[in-house]
Amino acid sequence: MSIAVNLLKYKKEAEEHSASLVAVSKFHSSSEIMEAYDAGQRIFGENIVQELTEKANTLPKDIQWHIIGHLQTNKVKYIAPFVSMIESVDSLKLLIEINKQALKNKRIIPCLLQVYIADEDTKFGLGFDEVIELLRSEEYASLKNIIIVGLMGMATNTTVKKQIKDEYNELKVLFHGIKHSFFNNNSEFAEISMGMSSDYEIALEAGSTMVRIGSLIFGNRSIKTN
């Protein structure tokens, strides 16, 4: 199936659950991104800073770029002028740097805290207690050029649906607890970014507001097409 057909299918499915779709375009070419763009997609996710800046330079300016992968502090300056959301904030140090670079660019950058929910050693993210510690810190309270708009999580890479469902439910419970305790039920704290190609249906059932889908839209990333 074509990229446009795939895109419309997953976009519709997300919208039926009141969620938005992040089309994960990492390792895919600008012309493939344009196929999705021409089909109406505006939110794209990338995880490598250099790849993202090259694409952002040439592609339409109304694309909303999300960083979804681990971000090194020294790379923040390259994306701060234009990135529309950083979904993978996994330390206070990174958040402080994002704030600094956002200030330089006279921007307020929306961020998600990436929470560690998987039963694996390989995934980045903050533990539940670390999320709370960060939000309680004086450093965080002083940051005026970032806004935390929700949480992001990746489930364990497993075929056991029950485990994925339990992990996503935990993230949702944490989200509501944090919204209540730290954001005074503020409507800006609204996003639970969870679900990718292999598990987006479970995530939508569990209350995801943002699914990040790559291979189901663009095909396999191991085949380089540009």
- The nearest distance, CB 61 to ligand PLP, in angstroms, is 24
* Phi, psi (rounded to 5 degrees) for 64: -100, 110
196 binds ligand PLP, rule: CB under 6 A: yes
- The DSSP bridge partners found for residue 85 are 66
Under the binding rule (CB under 6 A), the answer on residue 219 touching ligand PLP is no
CB of 24 to ligand PLP, least distance (A): 4
Contacting ligand PLP within 111-170 (CB under 6 A): 154
Q: Which one among 7, 24, 76, 178 touches ligand PLP, defined by CB under 6 A?
A: 24
Helices (H) and strands (E) in the chain, counts: 10, 8
The Cα–Cα gap between 26 and 111 comes to: 19
Q: 68 or 149, CB closer to ligand PLP? A: 68
Position 33 contacts ligand PLP (CB under 6 A):
no
Answer whether 73's CB lies under 8 Å from 90's CB.
no
Residue from 6, 25, 47, 99 binding ligand PLP (CB under 6 A):
47
> What is the contact mask toward ligand PLP in residues 67 to 96, using x (rule: CB under 6 A)?
-xx---------------------------
Of 88 and 99, CB closest to ligand PLP: 88
Residue (of 201, 216, 191, 213) closest to 43 by Cα position: 213
The partner residues of 114 in beta bridges, in order of sequence, read: 152
Q: Nearest approach, Cβ of 10 to ligand PLP (angstroms)?
A: 10
| Dihedral sign, Cα of residue 150, residue 154, residue 160, residue 163 | negative
Of 65, 46, 14, nearest in space to 210 by CA: 14
Contact between 20 and ligand PLP by CB under 6 A: the answer reads no
Q: Which stretch binds ligand PLP (CB under 6 A): 29-37, 132-140, 158-166, 192-200?
A: 192-200
Burial classification of residue 211, based on how many CB atoms lie within 10 Å of its CB (0-12 exposed, 13-18 middle, 19 or more buried): buried
- What would the DSSP string read from start to end of 3-37? HHHHHHHHHHHHHHTT-EEEEE-TT--HHHHHHHH
Interface with ligand PLP, residue 192, by CB under 6 A: no
- Looking at beta carbons only, is 134 or 213 nearer to ligand PLP? 213
For ligand PLP, the binding residues (CB under 6 A) are 24, 26, 47, 68-69, 154, 196-198, 212-215
